[in-house]
Structure 1
Amino acid sequence: ALSTFVEETREQPITLSSGDETWQVMPDDVGTTIDAAATVSAAMDLTRDGNAFVDLGRRLDLYLSGRDIPLQGTVDGTKMDALLDDLAAEIDEQPTNARMLIVDNEIKVAEGEPGSVVDKDALRAQLTELLFSFHSTELQIPMVVVEPDIAAVDVSPALEDANTMISSDLVLTHGDLSWTFTPRELASYMDLTYKNAAGVNTLVPYLSAAKLSVFFDSIEPSVNVPGVNATMDSDGKTAWVVPQVDGQGLDREATADGLTDAALTTSGRTGAVVLATMEPDLTTAEVEAMGIKDLLASYSTTPYNGSANRQHNVRLGTSLCSGVLMAPGDVFNTDERLGTRDAAHGWKTAPGIVGFGELDDVYGGGICQVSTTLFNAVFEAGLEVVERHNHSIFINHYPDGRDATVTGGGKNMRFKNDTDHHIFIYGESTGVLTTFYIWGVSDGRTVTSTFSGFYGFRGHGAQKIYNPALAPGTSNVTFAGQTGKKCEVTRTITWPDGTTKTETFSSAFPAIPSITEVGPAATTTTGGAPPSLPA
């Protein structure tokens, strides 16, 4: 029966009220737990503590008065505190300190006013008692009056200072730059604080950095001097930390203080921007903590000299893919690092593969030497290869089955730092000899690989194209054709604990017909259509 009564009690809300507002509180809202056994025990204790005559008197009193015995249990203190905080947020009216108000450039005085806030201790005790009673009732939320910290102040000096501050224009300077504040603007940036001197509270006006925040946002690009992140560098033999270079950033509080001082004068009303030392995003200590010291792998290519433009592109591409710190899990995107290939970004035209077996001068021609060299360094380091594609034309001066092409917005070479430490990518190039080094913290992994050899050969056929610009009876082979073939390179990575990972990199080179341009047929006749050509 008691258990049934307890369940019914849990469904009965307590109504809290304050003024015209009310709130319903259910026992579960504050994590109320009823202990039926303890409640029965407490009831029995009322009639068995003492001697037989006292016990008999208590039983008669309970029978005649019908006195309730409180339920026994607990409430969740965290939930009770959250409830009281929510109520206080809605009900509390905080006291207001004595202050000056700036209204339309006119300074007025407002006296301090007391507040009224929830008496949380009293409400907690009263609510807890009701939760363990047999009654659902309404509880008036107890409130207490809170006096302001400063009820009255001497405003005369503040009034005088405030009027001085908005008496005329104020100028902020930084080198050749300057900004002018009108009296109306100064009034909007003004705030007030309190100082206690010899037990007397005094209002003090000042120009607020917080209220100047939008203005400060607008001038920061003009006054800040960005720092330079710490990084790594290498000469191929070792790698070292390049220290950070601190920048300078707008010190908002100090600049606002300087403006306040200038505004409190009646002449020479000029303040200066104050800059503070600003660390870059990546500090020397952070790079040193990466512990990069081991050469995980390096790889060099020297395919052929090529044109001066090609060498320029290879040097530029290498520099764009060099000097990169990669955190564990980071993915290197070669196409993204190389960026847009056009004259505006420093690229020059050189031969590049532009279609099915076609070579043409394109901006960035030669960059595949960069991606291929980097791919092979990644291959030898045992890092995870996310994306790699072979060229459509077989290039015999790259390792068989280990070339890697990159096209703008298309095929890409991407790899992931799957070690537990940062790695550093460093590259150098003469435009012909190109080398990439990968530095990091060795985890002992080793790499072995095998090459399948070429297979699946397919003949390439031939194609002739009429070119009336050639001399009669002559021809010119523009593309020798390519025999189709395939190959695989298998890489096995082994870790010190014996764990291995084997993966295959496949390459397929399509059969591409040879292309021969032919001129007009040798003949003594004149006029007529050009002769037909065999396919």
Structure 2
Amino acid sequence: MRPRIASLPPVALAGGALTVGIGGLYLAGLLLTGGEIEAGTTVRGVDIGGLTREEATRKLERHLAAAAPRKLAVQVGDRKGVVDPRQAGFSFDVRETLDRVASTGADPVGVIGGLFRPGGGDIEPVVRIDERKARTALGELAETLDEEVRDGAVSFAGGRVEQTAPRTGYALDVDAAIGSLRVPFLRGAADSVTVLPARESRPKVTAEEVRRAVREFARPAMSAPVTLTAGGRRFTLPPAVLGEYLTMRPDDAGRLTAKLDSRGLRAAPTVAGVLNGLPTTPRNARLGLEGDRVVVAAEARPGMEVTDKALGKAVLPLLTRSGTARTGEVDTRQIQPEITRESAARLGLTEKMSSYTVDFEPAAYRTTNIGRAVDLINGSLVMPDETWSFNRTVGERTRANGFVDGIMIFDDQYVKAPGGGVSAVATTVFNAMFFAGVEPVEYGAHSFYIERYPEGREATVAWGSLDLRFTNDSGKAIYLQAESTDTSLTVTFLGTKKYDEITSVKGPRTNLRQPAKKVSTAEKCVPQTPLEGFDVTVERVFHDNGREVKREPFRTHYTPRDEITCEEAPGKPRP
């Protein structure tokens, strides 16, 4: 009798069959995979199938490091360069790569799934980027590959036209460039050039505009000289001179426009040599006397001024012309003199108001210094209520201003200094002013009395400390006429008399003081004779219609003039 087999429910059988089937597949999967990495898996051609994770790590680190590109050729705009991936922070991330290809160990789904895949296949390695290093490397690259935009330009050199081609500007976009290098690094594209993303700047002045400017202006401008006439004088400007002061500048729309440096051209030797010869300063009519009546001894002459603007206005239109049309006239502005034959009477310059002469001992330095001061004073015109200044008119008494060393008083004694003798001119002007009856504003006598001058009616000047000034309160203009010889000088005031006559009354010397005796060993010592000091008052008396109308006192204090004897310093002979 055969043993009896207990029957199982259908569901149980099915479940048992399912359990046995899955278990078999799981066991088969484990046997087939043989490790963590699925068979047939490669990373960039490196076979890691069937290896453990540790084995695959070592193998990939060795092979991927060797396979990584050592340089990447890049381009920004028209410029090419090279990026070192290692310095830029590019590398292969082996760990992350294995995370993508490794199986899940004993997980039934992963193991069994491997039975139905046709091998792991080739996997691209994961690229890791150190963004800090990448930004630094690409920032340094931008310094060499970035290109500034350049406008087209037209310039002139030596009478020739020079053209500058426009150029598009490129600025590397560092943020975008980091991502754009990932694929070239992954593929090891060392020989191919990667165009990096960059911000583009277009030139405002185009090549077409450069060609137009050259055709329409630049070449015609340099084609031939320009000839100008100013104030009756003719001069020629060759292309080399014109080009030195000529430029073409773009306007807001990028159109090149010609610009002429008129001031620079006006100062150029070719131009200045001619225009500076024009009578730019007007010359007043020179007045003289016939008896006491004022006459015109020499006619006035207007001045001519050629402005920078007028020069530029004359030159620019001629530059695009040809032949005889490149000739033009420069507008000149006439500057009228203050005193002309017609204006003299209107200004009140009709008669002699006063005149005074000072005589002096002949000396070369006096002749030079007095003559120079007289030249500067002669022809001075003082309008009503205007103040005249000796220092402002004559200027500083220096060699550069035409003065030489002479004898003058400094610190109560005679010394040698530039401008010595000019006090004679100051005294003469003072007396002419005194007898013309105009108002003194500033004056000062010498520290001690000088015998050739009238007591209390003389003046001296010192640059920066003492001036001789008067205000014209006559109601009409005053003309100063000055002239000199080797032994005398005369100053005459021409205008309209306000009073019939002006006289001088001198009082007695008072407060007498005796001089001292001194010995000087100074190198520039000047011997000095003694003279007592004193005070004196001179009155200016005004007469009108035959009677005295007022008096003005002029008080002067003179110090004693010490006797000075010059001797050699011990051990040092005087020059």
Calculate the TM-score normalised by the size of structure 1.
0.54
Larger radius of gyration: 2
Please, which of 555, 563, 567 is the counterpart of residue 506 of structure 1? Answer: 555
Structural mapping, 1:156-171, within 5 Å: 165-166=216-217, 168=219, 170-171=221-222
- C-alpha distance in structure 2 between counterparts of 1:455 and 1:492, whole Å: 21
Calculate the TM-score normalised by the size of structure 2.
0.50
Deviates more, 1:491-500 or 1:243-252: 491-500
8 Å Cα contact 1:464-1:518 kept in structure 2: yes
Q: Which amino acid aligns with 2:539?
A: T
Please, which of 358, 361, 364 is the counterpart of residue 308 of structure 1? Answer: 364
Please, which of 477, 486, 501 is the counterpart of residue 446 of structure 1? Answer: 501
Please, which of 465, 482, 507 is the counterpart of residue 531 of structure 2? Answer: 482
Structural mapping, 1:22-41, within 5 Å: none
3-state DSSP of counterpart to 1:318: helix
Q: Compared with structure 1, are the counterparts of its residues 254 and 383 closer, same or farther at alpha carbon in structure 2 (3 Å cutoff)? A: closer
Q: Compared with structure 1, are the counterparts of its residues 251 and 499 closer, same or farther at alpha carbon in structure 2 (3 Å cutoff)? A: farther
Structural mapping, 1:69-108, within 5 Å: none
Does 2:294 match 1:274? no
Long gaps (5+) in structure 2: 1-150, 155-210, 229-234
Residue number in structure 1 paired with 2:59: none
Does 2:276 match 1:219? no
- C-alpha distance in structure 1 between counterparts of 2:489 and 2:247, whole Å: 60
Residue number in structure 2 paired with 1:180: 242
C-alpha deviation, 1:413, in angstroms: 1.4
8 Å Cα contact 2:318-2:327 kept in structure 1: no
Q: Which amino acid aligns with 1:450?
A: V
Structural mapping, 1:374-523, within 5 Å: 374-464=429-519, 478-494=527-543, 500-516=549-565
- C-alpha distance in structure 1 between counterparts of 2:393 and 2:221, whole Å: 48
- C-alpha distance in structure 2 between counterparts of 1:163 and 1:395, whole Å: 77
3-state DSSP of counterpart to 2:493: strand
Does 2:425 match 1:364? no
Residue number in structure 1 paired with 2:285: 232
Q: Compared with structure 1, are the counterparts of its residues 339 and 248 closer, same or farther at alpha carbon in structure 2 (3 Å cutoff)? A: closer
Q: Which amino acid aligns with 2:450?
A: I
Residue deviations 1:416-437 (CA, integer Å, cap 9, x gap): 1112221110111103121111
C-alpha deviation, 1:453, in angstroms: 1.6
8 Å Cα contact 2:445-2:456 kept in structure 1: yes
Q: Compared with structure 1, are the counterparts of its residues 176 and 485 closer, same or farther at alpha carbon in structure 2 (3 Å cutoff)? A: same
Q: Compared with structure 1, are the counterparts of its residues 281 and 184 closer, same or farther at alpha carbon in structure 2 (3 Å cutoff)? A: closer
Please, which of 318, 340, 348 is the counterpart of residue 396 of structure 2? Answer: 340
8 Å Cα contact 2:384-2:475 kept in structure 1: yes
8 Å Cα contact 1:206-1:260 kept in structure 2: no
- C-alpha distance in structure 2 between counterparts of 1:177 and 1:163, whole Å: 20
Residue number in structure 2 paired with 1:88: none
- C-alpha distance in structure 1 between counterparts of 2:312 and 2:526, whole Å: 74
C-alpha deviation, 1:253, in angstroms: 6.7
C-alpha deviation, 1:335, in angstroms: 2.1
C-alpha deviation, 1:323, in angstroms: 1.2
- Identity within the alignment, %: 22
8 Å Cα contact 2:302-2:337 kept in structure 1: no
Residue number in structure 2 paired with 1:353: 409
8 Å Cα contact 1:263-1:269 kept in structure 2: no
Residue deviations 1:221-254 (CA, integer Å, cap 9, x gap): 5364343324132445444263223425259579
3-state DSSP of counterpart to 1:374: helix
Q: Compared with structure 1, are the counterparts of its residues 494 and 189 closer, same or farther at alpha carbon in structure 2 (3 Å cutoff)? A: farther
3-state DSSP of counterpart to 1:180: helix
Does 2:345 match 1:294? no
C-alpha deviation, 1:519, in angstroms: 9.4
Q: Compared with structure 1, are the counterparts of its residues 161 and 259 closer, same or farther at alpha carbon in structure 2 (3 Å cutoff)? A: farther
Residue deviations 1:104-141 (CA, integer Å, cap 9, x gap): 789xxxxxxxxxxxxxxxxxxxxxxxxxxxxxxxxxxx
Residue number in structure 1 paired with 2:188: none
8 Å Cα contact 2:373-2:422 kept in structure 1: yes
- C-alpha distance in structure 1 between counterparts of 2:416 and 2:374, whole Å: 20
Long gaps (5+) in structure 1: 1-102, 107-159, 192-204, 470-475, 521-528, 531-535
Q: Which amino acid aligns with 2:454?
A: P
Q: Compared with structure 1, are the counterparts of its residues 443 and 247 closer, same or farther at alpha carbon in structure 2 (3 Å cutoff)? A: same
8 Å Cα contact 2:314-2:330 kept in structure 1: no
C-alpha deviation, 1:336, in angstroms: 2.4
- C-alpha distance in structure 2 between counterparts of 1:164 and 1:499, whole Å: 86
Please, which of 351, 374, 378 is the counterpart of residue 318 of structure 1? Answer: 374
The size of the alignment, in residue pairs, is 339
- C-alpha distance in structure 1 between counterparts of 2:371 and 2:252, whole Å: 57
Q: Compared with structure 1, are the counterparts of its residues 162 and 376 closer, same or farther at alpha carbon in structure 2 (3 Å cutoff)? A: same
C-alpha deviation, 1:324, in angstroms: 0.7
Residue deviations 1:394-450 (CA, integer Å, cap 9, x gap): 111111211111122222211111122211101111031211111112334532321
- C-alpha distance in structure 2 between counterparts of 1:497 and 1:186, whole Å: 77
Q: Compared with structure 1, are the counterparts of its residues 516 and 343 closer, same or farther at alpha carbon in structure 2 (3 Å cutoff)? A: closer
- C-alpha distance in structure 2 between counterparts of 1:398 and 1:184, whole Å: 63
